[in-house]
Amino acid sequence: MRPLAPGSGAVPTRRALVVDDSLVARMALTRVLEREGWSVEGVERAEEMWAVLPDAAWQVVFVDVSLPDARGLDHLRALVGSRAAAARPFDIVALTRDGIERAVAREAGIGRALRKPF
């Protein structure tokens, strides 16, 4: 869905991407965001994230620190680098399990985090 034209009087769609291999975590966060008026897409692997990231105007990407196909500092730094190069920058929120993952997210340049389980 595309944001509405300026001056149309309608509120543009806020888009969020939730990247987490846990179906329960994706569903829980999606429900919260949708209740707040967000349009949400969820994927479970980094490969899927990279496929959809350039295709839409995301306002925020919620990303698990440890995915089956990518994890840790390199994974998060790649996403931060992608944000810096994006035509439309987006916020990143790390989805963490503990203080160690929170520290990894901070080191990668991600200042916001949600502790799992939500």
**pLDDT tens digit string along 86-118?**
888 899 999 999 999 999 999 999 999 999 987
Provide CB contacts within 8 A for 102, sequence distance 6+. Answer: 94, 96, 113, 115
Provide CB contacts within 8 A for 115, sequence distance 6+. Answer: 96, 97, 102
pLDDT in tens, 59-83: 999 999 999 999 999 999 999 999 9
How would you label 77-91 residue by residue, b for 16+ Cβ within 10 Å and e otherwise?
Answer: eebeebbeeeeeebe
Helix (H) or strand (E) segment spanning residue 29: helix 23-35
Query: Is the pTM higher than 0.95?
Result: no
